Amino acid sequence: MLQPVPPATRQDQLSYITGHADSPWLTYLAQVDRVVPYLGPLARWAETLRRPKRALIVDVPIEMDDGTVRHFEGFRVQHNLSRGPGKGGVRYHPQVTLEEVMALAAWMTVKNAAVGLPYGGAKGGIRVDPTQLSHKELERMTRRYTSEIGIVIGPQQDIPAPDVNTNPQIMAWMMDTYSMNIGGTATGVVTGKPIQLGGSLGRVKATGRGVFEVGREAARRIGLPVQGARIAVQGFGNVGGVAAELFAEAGAKVVAVQDHTGGLYKGDGLDVVRLSAHVREHHGVAGFQDAEVLGGDDFWGVDCDILIPAALEGQLTEARARRTKAKMVLEGANGPTLPAADDVFNDRGILVVPDVICNAGGVTVSYFEWVQDFSSFFWSEDEINARLERILVGAFVAIWETAERLKVPLRTAAFVVACERVLQARAERGLYP
């Protein structure tokens, strides 16, 4: 009889992993440990989940505007390709590490499988503060990075997309560079492109829209009316800002926001449309007039019903999870909740809607973009938004039902649904040779 592989102990770490306590990779591994007991005979293949299939580290040297040469550290990790080509964004951030990109790639594997998209999981990143680069330097860095990872990406191999600090312009440069290198026009090599280059309507707002759609369904299921609900949002970019706008349109009050520039509070609800305009102009929430300034950690103790972490990993620590007054957490960010915080939320009866379903709207519309590029036939925005809602809410309901059946938190349920699909594909494909 086939025996399941016992869960890896943290001593079984891959040799190049630091094992640093707040490593997102360790958070991911802890999440995998929690799902293995539910995988039955498929647990035989669980070790597949605990290591990336392929990880590429690239040197990205560019000439700066002042004539000097600088080298940046770039990564592309393909965590799993059992169900289809790699898919996941590219992040530009000064704290990017291989370990972080590995975790983000792994969460893409789980996310794509949880939603039922025909992709594996991948992610890329460059360790850089893009605000310190000129437009031309940003273009040169993006093009050199794309050329360096050109050996592993492609419309059928691995399809990058935007993530933190990357956008449609950067995707246009990536598409152009890849196309120049292969001697053709390959629109399907990246998603999140400008509309003129084969981008999809609705892609820019898709992640925030997905947070709202899934959040509304989750709220309905716990009997929390969206009308009048108080919302606290961390991160006011493409995810948090859009989700906040949609919740405000639906009658919720966005009472607190926090980003890398500061925090704001307004008990009867911030004017989200004006705040979005302020953020576009000033690149942060700081300095917005019509609100009180909210200092540092006070954000986490704010009186709210729904908490939306939509910035970076590891923000919800055990202490912050104990402090929050929210009834529900909607993970707009990837990996915002540490495993110890998950336990606190569970004990306190606070519903956590995990990243792998909550923020899957972006990659879902990326999938629509890729399909449209292949067929060279483009859909209307209404059609895209309707399909997005149908797919995401359908996937959420399946996860909800799994959670009820197994009596586990939504995150474990999402991992059960996803890992069964990934490992089933793994088992059916078999080992080569």
48 vs 191 by CB, closer to ligand GLU? 191
**How far, in Å, CA of 143 to CA of 176, rounded?**
8
Residue 395 as a binder of ligand GLU (CB under 6 A): the answer is: no
**How far, in Å, CA of 21 to CA of 144, rounded?**
33
Q: Which of 89, 210, 237, 314 binds ligand GLU (CB under 6 A)?
A: 89
Residue 237 as a binder of ligand GLU (CB under 6 A): the answer is: no
Q: Write down the least CB distance from residue 89 to ligand GLU, Å.
A: 3
Burial class (CB in 10 A: 0-12, 13-18, 19+), 65: exposed
Residue 80 as a binder of ligand GLU (CB under 6 A): the answer is: no
**DSSP classification of residue 7:** P
Number of residues counted as binding ligand GLU (CB under 6 A):
12
Residue 334 as a binder of ligand GLU (CB under 6 A): the answer is: yes
Parallel/antiparallel/unpaired status of strands 292-293 and 306-309: unpaired
Q: Write down the least CB distance from residue 368 to ligand GLU, Å.
A: 10
**How far, in Å, CA of 103 to CA of 105, rounded?**
5
Tell me which stretch binds ligand GLU (CB under 6 A): 72-80, 252-260, 291-299, 356-364.
Answer: 356-364
97 vs 191 by CB, closer to ligand GLU? 191
Burial class (CB in 10 A: 0-12, 13-18, 19+), 380: exposed
Nearest alpha-carbon partner for 172 in 194, 203, 153, 156? 194
Tell me which stretch binds ligand GLU (CB under 6 A): 176-184, 193-201, 293-301, 359-367.
Answer: 359-367
137 vs 163 by CB, closer to ligand GLU? 163
123 classed as catalytic: yes
**How far, in Å, CA of 226 to CA of 328, rounded?**
12
Residue 87 as a binder of ligand GLU (CB under 6 A): the answer is: yes
Residue with tokens 């975790």: 103
Number of residues that this document lists for the chain: 433
Q: Where are the alpha helices (DSSP H) in 9-87?
A: 24-35
Q: Are 383 and 2 in contact (CB under 8 A)?
A: no
Q: Write down the least CB distance from residue 87 to ligand GLU, Å.
A: 5
Q: Which residue is nearest to ligand GLU (CB)?
A: 89
**How far, in Å, CA of 415 to CA of 113, rounded?**
9
Residue 4 tokens read as 């399941």
Which residues inside 176-235 make contact with ligand GLU, applying CB under 6 A? Answer: 191-192
**How far, in Å, CA of 277 to CA of 290, rounded?**
13
**How far, in Å, CA of 356 to CA of 111, rounded?**
4
Q: Are 258 and 336 in contact (CB under 8 A)?
A: no
Tell me which stretch binds ligand GLU (CB under 6 A): 4-12, 84-92, 173-181, 401-409.
Answer: 84-92
278 vs 421 by CB, closer to ligand GLU? 421
Q: Write down the least CB distance from residue 362 to ligand GLU, Å.
A: 4
Residue 241 as a binder of ligand GLU (CB under 6 A): the answer is: no
Which residues inside 146-175 make contact with ligand GLU, applying CB under 6 A? Answer: 161, 163
> What's the angle, vertex CA 167, arms to CA 163 and CA 170, rounded to 5?
110
Q: Which of 8, 362, 368, 410 binds ligand GLU (CB under 6 A)?
A: 362
192 vs 409 by CB, closer to ligand GLU? 192
Q: Write down the least CB distance from residue 335 to ligand GLU, Å.
A: 10
**How far, in Å, CA of 115 to CA of 423, rounded?**
15
Residue 366 as a binder of ligand GLU (CB under 6 A): the answer is: yes
Q: Write down the least CB distance from residue 243 to ligand GLU, Å.
A: 14
Q: Are 198 and 228 in contact (CB under 8 A)?
A: no
Tell me which stretch binds ligand GLU (CB under 6 A): 85-93, 218-226, 254-262, 376-384.
Answer: 85-93
Distance of CA 390 to the CA centre of its chain: 20
Q: Write down the least CB distance from residue 297 to ligand GLU, Å.
A: 26
Residue 78 as a binder of ligand GLU (CB under 6 A): the answer is: no
Q: Which residues have a Cβ under 8 Å from the Cβ of 228 and sit 6 or more positions away?
A: 251, 252, 253
Element (H, E) at 248: helix 240-249
Write down the catalytic residue from 123, 205, 253, 266. 123
Q: Write down the least CB distance from residue 162 to ligand GLU, Å.
A: 6
Residue 88 as a binder of ligand GLU (CB under 6 A): the answer is: yes
Residues of this chain that interact with ligand GLU (CB under 6 A) are: 87-89, 161, 163, 191-192, 334, 359, 362-363, 366
Q: Which amino acids are annotated catalytic?
A: 123
